[in-house]
Amino acid sequence: MKKILLAALMTLYSVQIFAQSAQDILKGMTSGEKVKVKPEYNFAGSLKFETSNVYKGKPSKGEMRWYFPLANEALFGTLMKMGEGTGKDVRAVIDYNNKAMIMFMEEQKMVMGIPLDIEKTMKDIQNDPKTKVSSPKKTGRKKTILGYACEEWVSDNTDYTSSMWMSDKVPIASASFYKIMSQQLFKSTGTPMPTDMKGIPLEIQSTTKKTGDKYGMICTEISNKPTKFSTAGYKTM
């Protein structure tokens, strides 16, 4: 169970704050606090990404989706493909208003609500003296991804360097998604986003300075097809 959870966390958070996020969620799992799971979580559409990793010299590839919320919702959904035909795909929802993460474990047909205060996680990262992070800076480089103009932003800390290709031209039917993306990127750098950094990332690349390990994701599909995560048929933990 713990291995599945930790693997899923990698799709929700950038590698810079993986350790802090894992600690917060594991604390939530063992806190004894109950999180009420809703019958369903609705989304306006999704972005599909191809992911690539190089860990200890061994490359691997995967797939994930980000789900953007309806206009009046404060949700962020994700799906991580853990292997074709394995039945081990993991879906998750971050519920900002209720300060919770909802994990769907497909193989076990279980759903679990975990207390998670995103604002606290961000403050902990920002106040950690060990986390020395530069505010993202625009490089001036531009390129097109899926037909949308993107600009590169880079950030740097003592352990990682990251590159994000941002676009504010993507026709996503959810204004709140841009606000949520700002929060997600805040977590990935530990610093407030520059006022002129707008849109959503269509590509992210991160490199570990000490080991050379790499993590990357690039958007391959943008869909405005409504989607729902239903808890019907799942055992609630």
Distance between CA 80 and CA 78 in Å, rounded? 7
Residue labelled with tokens 């950094």 = 197
Which one-letter DSSP state was computed for residue 166?
E
Confidence of residue 190 (pLDDT cuts 50, 70, 90): low
Looking at residue 5, its pLDDT comes to 36
Confidence of residue 192 (pLDDT cuts 50, 70, 90): low
Residues 96 and 159 grouped into a single domain:
no
* Full domain range(s) for residue 10: 2-46+62-125+224-236
pLDDT of 7 > 60? The answer is no
In a domain, 54, yes or no: no
Question: CA nearest 37: which of 120, 107, 118, 100?
Answer: 100
Looking at residue 98, its pLDDT comes to 87
The whole model's pTM is what?
A: 0.79
Looking at residue 2, its pLDDT comes to 36
Residues 13 and 121 grouped into a single domain:
yes
Residues 15 and 100 grouped into a single domain:
yes
Residues 140 and 197 grouped into a single domain:
yes
- Backbone phi and psi for residue 61, each to the nearest 5 degrees, phi listed first: -130, 160
Residues 41 and 147 grouped into a single domain:
no
What does the pLDDT look like over 135-172, one tens digit per residue? 788 999 999 999 999 999 988 777 778 888 999 889 88
* Structural domains counted in the chain: 2
Residues 141 and 24 grouped into a single domain:
no
Residues 186 and 86 grouped into a single domain:
no
Residues 6 and 89 grouped into a single domain:
yes
In a domain, 154, yes or no: yes
Average pLDDT (37-46) is 93
Q: Which residue intervals of the chain are DSSP H helices? A: 2-12, 18-30, 118-127, 175-189
Residues 86 and 196 grouped into a single domain:
no
